[in-house]
Structure 1
Amino acid sequence: MNLQQLEYALTLERLGSFTQAAKALGMTQPALSLQIKNLENEIGISLFDRSRSKIEPTESGLKFLLRAGEIVSASKQLKDYAIALSTEFKGILRLGVIPTLSPFLVPMFIDDFTNSFPEITIEIHEQLTEQILQQVRLGELDGGIISTPITRQGIEVKPLFYESFFLYKNDQLFDSLESFSISNIEIENLWLLEEGNCFRDQVNDICSFRNIKSNTRMKYLCSSIDSLIRMVDHYGGATILPELTTLSLVSEQEKHLAILDDKIREIGFVSRKLSGKEHLFEALTNTICQNIPPRMRQKDGREVVDPGITVNW
């Protein structure tokens, strides 16, 4: 068993196809199949289920590949460490950011970061939480900014800041309210993100859906916070917004905000253990925290909403 065989197996896991993996590795499919079979024979377990159209790890194979990924990552960190010795802040940083954060958070810190660290190239990928975690685990992304807390094998989590939840409403009944508990009111036409978004899961958690009614004949499924705001402006009703979103509203829209004083969501930075890029992560997270309003850096004893993340590993 050697590092090259482990990289072959990890590439096959990532792409789910012997043909695609062989092409990505620059080798023939029979040669790749032989290498994977030799590895399986040596360790005494079957790594992949070959009975389906998409190749997927077996239960034991997934556990092995998790450890294999850590070993391959640890071997690669020596090169990154050598770069860090020659110049402290230099290299490529591939970062995943969830859609409910990216359009509002990235503009707050990106100019300061690129100006302060001109030798770091940063790539921003806007993706859902499960995709970010999976790609961080596989090494396709260096890190991610998501709603936390989470606990996953091989993943490091660093809390960054905390967002309050706001009700954004276009209804005269609530125009005079500055704060309240969502569980004690009835709302008609509560516009929500589509299922599968962790912010939708958090809204489900803080809302008592027994008290929510809908009189509209239209069902609008979207993955954009901006779209929810536009729907409320045009059709009325209400939606739930994270705090960073509210900072970009115009003064007329700010009149329709009311803070929900029940819970908050935690935003954290996730990365793979032993990545070798910890110095870049520190530079990034410090810059983010410096550009976040001070009130958002403290939890102040408030309850953090479970992001409801489900990743099967």
Structure 2
Amino acid sequence: MTITQLYYVLAVAEHKNFTVAAERCFVTQPTLSMQIQKLEEELDVQIFDRSKKPIQLTEVGQKIVTQAKNIVSESGRIKDIVDQQKGYIGGDFKVGIIPTIMPTLLPMFINNFIKKYPKVNLIIEEHTTEEIIRMVKNGQLDAAIAATPLDEESIKEIVLYYEPFVAYVPENNPSFKKKEFEVEDLEMNLSNILLLQDGHCFRNNVLNICKASSLPSDNQFHIESGSFETMIRLADEGLGMTLLPYLHTLNMDSKSTAKLRPFKEPSPSREVSLIYSKKELKLHIIDALRNTISGVVRGAIAFQNVAITSPLQKK
């Protein structure tokens, strides 16, 4: 039994396809299949049920995969120990970022990071919070950037910054004359608020601020969009107001900026954190990423008096 064989097993278990798994492992499909077959022969069990499409784990295969994850993960610690001892910061590092953070935060730090740590191959993927939690737990992501707290026992969270919400109110909206918003203003006008589609934690943030589990059912239309730009355009068309994360407002033109309204302190805000598994692999790269982001964001966000809202949907 080898670490490589277990790595191939995990790849097939994830992708449920030998060809795709081989591509992700950068080996030929016959090589991957042969190594898995050798492992099955050594253990005298079938790990995969190849008669099903897509390929499924057998009952014993599920138990083997669970243990294989631990073994492969722990084996990675050896290289981590050596790299840290040598002061080497490099290698592949896979980061997940939620969609409502990716467009604003990534351009702020990516150039600084790759210039400072040229030996790190930063692989960045966009995922929902739910996907990120699963992938961090399964070792498919080395770290992630998401709204917290997530209340996950196996995941560590390092707060990067607190980002206030800002109201975007067009001229034709009755609330446009307000210079400052209060949470009560949202609670009384929930049917007038445009929100992102289900699956986005920013939507949950806003609903939690309003102490609501969903939008009123008497809305005249229903939209499924994951784009703040779509929400802004709909608001400009007179279909309501929307809430934006503060960083998203920094590059707006003067015409749009005139429609922004801050909240009375303590400002309702989201907590943005760097998260990773408590197994603590590649901590030296995690620290480098945290320091880079913190150094850049510190100049853009200086808010202290904030009220953190949960990214988890409240029932």
TM band (smaller chain): 0.7 to 0.9
Q: What SS does structure 1 have at the residue aligned with 2:136?
A: helix
> Shift in Å at residue 144 of structure 1?
0.9
**Quick check: 82-91 or 55-64, which moved more?**
55-64
Query: Residues 256-305 of structure 1, C-alpha deviation per residue, up to 9 Å, x if partnerless?
Result: 22234563211111223445421111111111111224685776472432
What corresponds to 2:142 in structure 1?
A: 142
Match of 2:240 among 237, 240, 253: 237
Query: Residues 187-237 of structure 1, C-alpha deviation per residue, up to 9 Å, x if partnerless?
Result: 5543221111222222222234788576644x3321112221222123441
Q: Which runs of 5+ in 1 are unaligned?
A: none
Letter in 1 for 2:91: G
For 2:96 and 2:121, locate their aligned partners in 1 and report how far apart those are by CA, in whole Å: 14
Percentage identity across paired residues of the two chains: 30
Is 2:11–2:21's contact at 8 Å kept on the other side of the alignment? yes
- Counterpart mapping for 1:6-155 below 5 A: 6-17=6-17, 20-21=20-21, 26=28, 27=31, 29=33, 32=36, 35-36=39-40, 39=43, 53-55=53-55, 65-66=65-66, 68-152=68-152, 154-155=154-155
Count of aligned pairs between the two proteins = 304
For 1:180 and 1:149, locate their aligned partners in 2 and report how far apart those are by CA, in whole Å: 23
Structure 1 pair 211–220 and aligned structure 2 pair: CA distance change class (3 A): closer
For 1:48 and 1:204, locate their aligned partners in 2 and report how far apart those are by CA, in whole Å: 43
- Counterpart mapping for 1:209-224 below 5 A: 216-217=220-221, 219-224=222-227
Q: TM-score, normalised by structure 1?
A: 0.79
Q: What SS does structure 2 have at the residue aligned with 1:265?
A: strand
Structure 1 pair 115–290 and aligned structure 2 pair: CA distance change class (3 A): same
What corresponds to 2:274 in structure 1?
A: 269
1:251 aligns with 2:230: no
Is 2:231–2:242's contact at 8 Å kept on the other side of the alignment? yes
Letter in 1 for 2:176: D
For 2:303 and 2:52, locate their aligned partners in 1 and report how far apart those are by CA, in whole Å: 48
Structure 1 pair 67–256 and aligned structure 2 pair: CA distance change class (3 A): farther
Q: Which runs of 5+ in 2 are unaligned?
A: none
For 1:149 and 1:61, locate their aligned partners in 2 and report how far apart those are by CA, in whole Å: 34
Is 1:183–1:211's contact at 8 Å kept on the other side of the alignment? no
1:281 aligns with 2:283: no
Is 1:193–1:221's contact at 8 Å kept on the other side of the alignment? yes
1:180 aligns with 2:185: no
Q: Report the aligned-residue RMSD.
A: 3.6
For 2:204 and 2:57, locate their aligned partners in 1 and report how far apart those are by CA, in whole Å: 28
